[in-house]
Amino acid sequence: MHNDIERILLTEEQIKEKVAELGKLLAEEYRDKNPVVVGVLKGVVIFYADMIRAMDIPCQMDFMCISSYSGTQTTGRTQIAKDLSCDINGRHVLILEDIFDTGNSLQFITNHLKNKGAASLKICTLLDKPERRKPGVTVKCDYTGFVIPNEFVVGYGLDFDEKYRNLPYIGILKPEAYQN
Ligand code: IMP
Ligand code: MG
């Protein structure tokens, strides 16, 4: 796996520091609110597991999974593969996402959750690739870990063809790795 990485963009240490920082901010924001923390599967799993421990306040875990992305290209069509398991009516909802790329996914998810009566709805993304944003995407992230250049990244949950999710850092793939 490591041989397919051109260069490390974010080290384990950098990610760890950022998660601690975001965790503190979010713990302040959601103290005594018992938020529903919604993870967007599957890319978020590693970030999610680290974040909820960094928050260190009572919270409820839930997950959504949408399908729209394969390989390095979005296929354009978005569907719900797994919806929330809990009722968010009257609840404070915090969405955790691995990366804010074109914005299609988060736009779709926030539209879907909008009419379910949440007391509040905020988004925290580990990575943001602003250069990739599609016109017409109006959703914004409330908390962002790192703004990154327009490169395809893997590791710390992010995949290419379901590979590399278990790399402990975030790296840029060598072109050979996705051209084969
Ligand atoms: P969107 O284009 O903002 O809808 O991005 C949706 C999803 O695409 C993200 O949640 C990731 O799972 C995936 N994605 C976007 N950019 C990358 C990348 O550079 N590497 C791996 N996955 C990515
Ligand atoms: Mg994702």
Ligand 1 center from residue 75 Cα (angstroms): 12
Q: Cα angle vertex 159, ends 78, 11, to 5°?
A: 130
Ligand 2 center from residue 106 Cα (angstroms): 9
What Cα–Cα distance (Å) separates residue 123 from each residue in 2, 57, 83, 97, 139?
A: 31, 17, 17, 8, 9
Ligand 1 pocket, residues with Cβ under 6 angstroms: 43, 69, 74, 97-105, 152-154, 158-159
Tokens at residue 162, please? Answer: 């379901």
d(CA 11, CA 23): 18
pTM greater than 0.85: yes
Query: What is the count of structural domains for the chain?
Result: 1
| Residue 53 near residue 85, CB atoms below 8 Å | no
CATH code, 127: 3.40.50.2020
Pocket test for ligand 1, best of 9, 69, 110 (most atoms within 8 A of CB): 69
**Domain assignment of residue 30, given as a range:** 2-68+76-179
Write the pLDDT tens digit of every residue in 131-164: 999 999 999 999 999 999 999 999 999 999 999 9
How many Å separate Cα 101 from the centre of its chain?
10
